[in-house]
Amino acid sequence: MAVALTGYLLNFSSAVAILIVGWWTAGWVRRGIAATLDRIPSMDATLKPIIANTGRYGVLILVVIAVLARFGVQTASVITVLGAATLAIGLALQGTLSNIAAGFMLLLLRPFRVGEYIDSEGIAGTVSEVGLFTTQLETFDGVFVSSPNSKLWNSTILNYSRLPNRRIDLAVGVSYTDDIEKGLSVLLDLLKGDSRVLAEPVPAVMVMALGESAVSLNMRCWVGRGDYWAVRFDITQGAKVALETAGLTIPFPQHDVHLHRLDDPPEYP
């Protein structure tokens, strides 16, 4: 009895030691893989966390098998149990597994990469990491966002960083009493005078709509992706200044009310 108890305690102590060393080794392997991948210039940043975490999980699986072996569990039995457990867990965690599958599809088809700004039906931000289960983003105002991979995979993804250039469309209203041709010319000169506006495609200004209170002129130009917001803000301000300097008016919404006098007002009882 004492010999059996001593043997059990030794196996238990060995198992605990294997768990501790294995857990440390798994973390070390993850950090080592990540550091190695960081030294490869051509390695895509999107793949690094996936590869590093896969190495860590692989070590942890070996650690579990080694711990069970200390208690006399045969490897074949362990594999059988793991297979059955995997099937049971897979049925119970279909949503989680769908996140893993979606993560691999996102890595395979690459609708976005780390560092790109995306918007997926309200989930918007700069991608910081694509993991096995979730994708992490950071918004413009410094908010951390963690989205399940399956939600991104099953949604339309707008990638604002993939293409080098973007188009700006800005509507400006002028009064119906103003010279429309003069307004078109003033706004076009404003676009051509900005060195950040690309020469091709050619910038243009056109009459977009006849609104209730103003004639809507649309300013259209192409800029580099990095200049989009700066140019948009500048031409918005510049359009107001240029039109007012040229003597044109940007009207505010208004309604005309006409009163008609009746010669024979109706008689009320």
Q: Classify domain 2-92 by CATH architecture.
A: Orthogonal Bundle (1.10)
Nearest to 125, CA basis, from 109, 144, 103, 153: 144
| Topology given in CATH for the domain delimited by 165-245 | Alpha-Beta Plaits (3.30.70)
> What are the boundaries of each domain within the chain?
2-92, 111-159, 165-245
Mean pLDDT over each residue of the chain, to the nearest integer = 82
pLDDT for the residue 92: 47
Q: pLDDT, tens digit, for every residue of 132-141? A: 788 999 998 9
- Over residues 83-100, the mean pLDDT reads 63
Q: pLDDT, tens digit, for every residue of 194-236? A: 999 999 999 999 999 998 889 999 999 999 999 999 999 999 9
Q: Band of the pLDDT at 157, cuts 50, 70, 90?
A: very high
CATH code: domain 111-159 is 2.30.30.60
Q: Band of the pLDDT at 262, cuts 50, 70, 90?
A: low
Task: List the single range of 41-50, 83-92, 130-139, 252-261 with lowest mean pLDDT.
Answer: 83-92
- Cα-based distances in Å from 115 to 103, 120, 129, 141: 17, 15, 9, 16
The runs of H, that is alpha helices, within the chain are 2-38, 48-70, 75-92, 94-109, 149-153, 180-192, 228-245
> Is pLDDT above 60 for 3?
no
pLDDT for the residue 17: 77
Nearest to 175, CA basis, from 252, 88, 84, 82: 252
d(CA 175, CA 214): 5
Choose between 129 and 160: higher pLDDT.
160
Q: Would you tell me how many other CB atoms lie within 10 Å of the CB of residue 84?
A: 10
pLDDT for the residue 161: 93
d(CA 161, CA 122): 17
| Contact status, residue 217 vs residue 205, Cβ threshold 8 Å | yes
> Is pLDDT above 70 for 263?
no
